[in-house]
Amino acid sequence: MWPLAYDSVTTQLTSDWVELIDGYLTELAAAGRPETSIRLRRNQLNHMTRCLQMPPEEVSTRVLLGWFASQGRWARETRRSYRSAARSFFGWAHQQGYLPNDPAAGLPVVGQRAGVPRPVPDDVYAGALASARPPAALMMRLAAEVGLRRGEIARIHSNDLAADGQGFLLLIHGKGDKERLIPIPDDLAWAVKDAGDWLFPGRNGGHVTPEWVGELCANALPNGWTLHALRHLFATKAYAATHDLRAVQILLGHSSPSVTQRYVAVGAAELRAVMAAANGRQP
């Protein structure tokens, strides 16, 4: 069995690994991948290759399988993300001729667990909003009332605001560098306009990091609720009001309706009404 103590490995990367990883990340940057994705891949590859403790050309499918098998504490999404990183990196290295074969080609598929919607309850959101300081309160509103991700909130700029005669529109810089134009409530639009620059500027220029947005909102919400659960709240309310799954999908920036469905919670009252109807009774 592969050793289980690799999370604490702190050995330095050899020059072979450094050059290989840098070359791969340079190609990602040249392809226009967002900085957040490149930073994530660097962190994952640095950790994985430190753990392996062998030259790149000696890494085999068996070695990678053993290392993945040893990560018993990983959440499913973490395992999926690391598998994606390994497949992309080693596949690139083999295709470019740096490695004689692709050891990650044989990594098994990690199934995606169907998520359970977990929207923040209305009273919890209202209480957190009332007691939160302005930056966190505005961030939470953008998640709960507009449906934005933490990375999208971090990158809002006043130049992204437009008007179409019926109200305000905001250009969202979404996941995977995909953009979408969505309507935004007037009071939130004026907050963006009044900023005159980044809505949430960083200390050293530019905008704040997505991680900071997530942490600030998590601290403002009680009982382990997160900013992502506020997106579930938005999705649940939007669908309940319209039953238009396609529109909710577009607003959330999802790739397919099946993803959006995992964000929409169905209330007990609605389930009772359907059950009663199925049995020929009034709810």
Residue in 131, 114, 112, 113 with CA at minimum distance from that of residue 123: 131
d(CA 48, CA 215): 26
Whether the CB-CB separation of 89 and 24 falls below 8 Å is answered with yes
Q: Using the 8-state DSSP alphabet, how is residue 12 labeled? A: P
Q: Using the 8-state DSSP alphabet, how is residue 170 labeled? A: E
Joined together, the tokens standing for residue 203 give 């200390």
How many other C-beta atoms can be found within 10 angstroms of the C-beta atom of residue 101? 14
Annotated active-site positions, please? Answer: 149, 175, 228, 231, 254, 263
Whether the CB-CB separation of 9 and 51 falls below 8 Å is answered with yes
Residue in 173, 216, 225, 223 with CA at minimum distance from that of residue 198: 173
| Strand-pair partners of 157 | 198
